[in-house]
Structure 1
Amino acid sequence: MHGKRILLIVGGGIAAFKALELVRALRREGATVTPVLTAGGAHFVTPLSLSALAASPVHSDLWSLDEGGGMGHIELSRSADLIVVCPATADLMAKMTAGIADDLATTLLLATDTPVIAVPAMNVRMWTHAATVANVAMLRERGVMVIEPDDGPMACGEFGPGRLPEVPAIVAAIALHFAPKPLTGRHVVVTAGPTHEPIDPVRYLANRSSGKQGFAIAGALAALGARVTLVAGPIALVTPPGCTRIDVETARQMAVAVEAALPADAAVLVAAVADWGVIASPDKLKKAEGMPRFDMVENPDILATLGHSPDRPRLVVGFAAETSETVANAVAKRVAKGADWIVANDVSGDVMGGDANTVHLVTADGVEDWPTLAKAEVARRLADRIAQEFA
């Protein structure tokens, strides 16, 4: 972070005192910090403390920045390499979402095209309230990086998610933003989620895939600079920043979308694609008509088609969800499908839809057994491995 210019907006909350520690940590990393103190934040930290630690004037008044006829708040918002909002209160994030600009901090945020990282801190009930959940989702969709808060005891006496992350974790997230982007210029196609195969106009065959792992991988690849085309089955997850999303419903639609997204440097096929579809009834099936009999049809094998295609990406990665003999099945699948790698996981327990995964990376060189990890960490590790292939 040496030489990077960070505009630090300090929101109003008890966690604001950690902003002082964050300033010191960022400056130790070589960054220049310009503090903006909100009226709420000034109830918890003083301008003098912030200014002394940042070795920079503290800005708080919207009307004091218009010097020489210039629009000072516009210049301030665009002179930084990164804007960090810490702590980001529920009120501040609501204003960011709604585009309210009623003080210096919110005006800076509305006027900037500089990347923004928000570090939330608030009461657990405020964090889990539907309004905050919706606001966070919207901010992420707009490209704001919102760091997940920590779990733990709070100043109000309650316990749960909403604590400001520890300062080293915040610094690590900021450092990651400035890290080299080894996949810049590379195009990666990612599939995620289930497919729905219609039975009649109101029913369908599906599976329990949540799409969380595929979306996490798409986001991790985009964070490394890749241009990501995310072909998503019918799920309601927020599109990761930097990804172009194509929504599909059936396996056949997903196959068409993947082919249309080519050429690509890599493809990571995470989606749980239905192997079979049904010749659907044009009318709703009636219970009174007795037990229905279905004529099944085989769906396209997207991984095998791509793996054996003359237009295949340089790197083709498939996923294998197994309930028995996980590694052995994955080894055989890698060869049969023409994939370079297979990421295999055992879904015999209560795994699908969860937030963690235990996977085995199967390559031509052998099998790597990864420990149980959060799906975001699995995504980060896989994205790093893909970046190494293109180094």
Structure 2
Amino acid sequence: MLSGKSILLIIGGGIAGYKSLDLIRRLRERGATVTPVLTRAAQQFVTPLSVAALSGQKVYTDLFDLTDEAEMGHIQLSRSADLIVVAPATADLMGKVAGGLADDLASTLLMATDTPVLMAPAMNVRMYLHPAVQRNLAALKSDGVRFTGPNEGDMACGEYGPGRMSEVPEIVAAVENALAAGPLAGKRILVTSGPTHEPIDPVRYIANRSSGAQGTAIARAMSGMGADVVFVTGPADVAPPEGVQVIKVQSAREMLSAVQGALPADAAIFAAAVADWRVKSESGSKIKKVAGALPTLEFEENPDILATVSKLKTGRPGLVVGFAAETDDVIDHATAKRERKGCDWIVANDVSPETGIMGGSENAVTLISAEGAETWPRMGKQDVANRLAHKVAEALG
């Protein structure tokens, strides 16, 4: 709950601004005080009167309002909250902050604050994917700004893709996580999850058997302990947890790119079951079945995401954790993998069919580090995740 917490809510100018009204209501239901700031563009989508009625607070709109400056200057306003939430965070507003510009009340507040900031981006898919916006996003993450979303979905403009603002319950969960006083508060944790799909043709692909349940549980556990979690997931069966930044990918190459874009991080947990190989030449059309003849597929190696991050000379996370799904000689193979990849820990498990672990609700793991092997009893995947999260918190101090 958010009892006693003060939130400064900056509402940017986008059609998603209508969600801010429900966001105010839900934050207040949880005991938070919400002080609203509307940009000039935001007032084209929601009115100061409706925002004031729902928040029960004065609405701030003008940087040069003499009365506001006399009662509470913008510097004090920016520092009196426990958290600043920007929802929707438009491309314009993100660009101003990333570039160090402050030409209105909202951008000035964000530039003048030492309070944690959480942004919920919302914009057209092409705008979100534009290189300039992606550069600004990376710069803001590097500066310590937290993010929730954007989600992938239908846009008000009729297009589909990433850029849709997180739903209100997701933003509320992100707010609660940002204000959580857990042992991982202030830490940025990268978690990968699920399988990858490596296309053969438009209808066939190579994949590993993974539901994404363990990776999702890990992200949920890290977030629950106060971490700012970036969750990079392949096409998993399990829905991603709320309150974390979700990046959806398909292939190993897409996952590597997403991981690199999510750095820097204090720790990286690579729980995804990444396909080791892909077809060298993907067919642009469906390969037809021909009687008496079998297609010949030539393979090539996928990038080794764990090794790539583990061996970074600059920007390497302080703790890198890999997973080893083995069917025999589990500890020996996992120990060799840790040394070969250069990671700090390996979480090894036996995924032989008779264990029922792959795709099941339980796991039995051995944590392998430089100090040796620590075997845990079989338990639910969320319990495994919680135990691993505590270990990570201890390691990061």
Map 1:165-184 → 2, pairs under 5 A: 165-183=166-184
Q: Which amino acid aligns with 2:64?
A: W
1:317 and 1:94 map into 2 onto residues whose CA distance is: 31
- CA distance change for structure 1 residues 381 and 161 in 2, over 3 Å: closer, same or farther? farther
1:368 and 1:340 map into 2 onto residues whose CA distance is: 23
TM-score, scaled relative to structure 2? 0.57
Map 1:50-129 → 2, pairs under 5 A: 50-64=51-65, 72-129=73-130
1:23 and 1:77 map into 2 onto residues whose CA distance is: 18
Say which SS state the counterpart of residue 343 (structure 1) adopts.
strand
Map 1:372-387 → 2, pairs under 5 A: 382-384=388-390, 386-387=392-393
Structure 2 equivalent of residue 230 of structure 1: none
- Gap regions ≥5 residues in structure 2: 193-214, 228-258, 268-304, 310-318, 352-361, 367-373
1:93 and 1:188 map into 2 onto residues whose CA distance is: 20
Map 1:152-301 → 2, pairs under 5 A: 152-183=153-184, 224=225, 236-240=260-264, 271-272=306-307
2:23–2:172: 8 Å Cα contact kept in structure 1? yes
Q: Aligned-pair distance for 1:157?
A: 0.5
Q: Aligned-pair distance for 1:365?
A: 3.0
- Gap regions ≥5 residues in structure 1: 193-213, 227-234, 244-269, 275-315, 348-357, 372-377
1:35 and 1:189 map into 2 onto residues whose CA distance is: 30
1:389 and 1:223 map into 2 onto residues whose CA distance is: 17
Is 1:30 the equivalent of 2:18?
Answer: no
Q: Which amino acid aligns with 1:272?
A: A
Say which SS state the counterpart of residue 115 (structure 2) adopts.
coil
Give a deviation string over 1:293-337, Cα, whole Å, max 9, x none: xxxxxxxxxxxxxxxxxxxxxxx9963546xxx153433456898
Q: Aligned-pair distance for 1:63?
A: 1.1
Q: Aligned-pair distance for 1:344?
A: 3.5
Identity of aligned residues (%): 50
2:320 and 2:60 map into 1 onto residues whose CA distance is: 49
Say which SS state the counterpart of residue 64 (structure 2) adopts.
helix
Number of residues of Structure 1 aligned to a counterpart in Structure 2: 276
- CA distance change for structure 1 residues 237 and 365 in 2, over 3 Å: closer, same or farther? same
Give a deviation string over 1:74-95, Cα, whole Å, max 9, x none: 0100111100000001111011
Q: 30-39 or 61-70, which moves further after superposition?
A: 61-70
Say which SS state the counterpart of residue 62 (structure 1) adopts.
coil
1:221 and 1:108 map into 2 onto residues whose CA distance is: 30
1:119 and 1:239 map into 2 onto residues whose CA distance is: 19
Structure 2 equivalent of residue 45 of structure 1: 46
2:222 and 2:167 map into 1 onto residues whose CA distance is: 25
Q: 8-17 or 63-72, which moves further after superposition?
A: 63-72
Give a deviation string over 1:112-131, Cα, whole Å, max 9, x none: 01100010011110111111
Q: Which amino acid aligns with 2:80?
A: S
- CA distance change for structure 1 residues 241 and 20 in 2, over 3 Å: closer, same or farther? farther
Q: Which amino acid aligns with 1:328?
A: D
Structure 2 equivalent of residue 328 of structure 1: 328
Q: Aligned-pair distance for 1:26?
A: 0.2
Q: Aligned-pair distance for 1:64?
A: 1.4
Q: Aligned-pair distance for 1:341?
A: 7.3
- CA distance change for structure 1 residues 67 and 174 in 2, over 3 Å: closer, same or farther? closer
Q: Which has the larger radius of gyration?
A: 1
